[in-house]
Amino acid sequence: MAEALSCDYCGKGIEDTPEENAWHGVTPYPGDMPNTGMCLACGGDPEARTTRKRMGWALVSFVDARIPIIRDALSSANRASFEKMTYEQKANVVTRMVARGVIV
C-alpha cells in the first residue's frame, strides 16, 4: 500500500505512486522521506499536453522569475532572437545560465 504524503510545495495530499508523486523512486530522496512528496502539478507531469504543465509549477515559477533578468541583460540583437524562442527554449536558456553560474 502506498504511503500518504503531502506535496512539499503546495501541501496537497498525495500517494507515493508514480502517478501522484513526481519524486517517487528518486534517490537520494529530495524530500523529508516519511512525509513529503511532490505532486505532478508542482513537480511536472511528463504526460501533460502543455509545456508549463510538463515542467511543473515549481520550475515554471523559477524560470518565469529569471526570463526578464536575462532579457534585460542581453544585447538588442540577442534579445530579438531570445524573444522569438518558444517558452521551452527560453526555459533551457534559463536553466543553462543558472547551471553556468551566470545568474542565480
Q: Which residues bind Zn ion (CB under 5 A)?
A: 7, 9-10, 12, 39, 42
> At closest approach, how far in Å is the CB of 41 from Zn ion?
5
> At closest approach, how far in Å is the CB of 23 from Zn ion?
11
In the complex with Zn ion, the residue whose CB is nearer, 11 or 34, is 11
> At closest approach, how far in Å is the CB of 44 from Zn ion?
11
Q: For the chain, report the end-to-end CA distance as a whole number of angstroms.
A: 40
Q: What angle in degrees, to the nearest 10, is found between the helix axes of 57-73 and 76-84?
A: 150
Spell out the SS3 assignment of 37-59: ECEHHHHCCCCCCCHHHHHCHHH
**89 φ, ψ (degrees, to nearest 5):** -65, -40
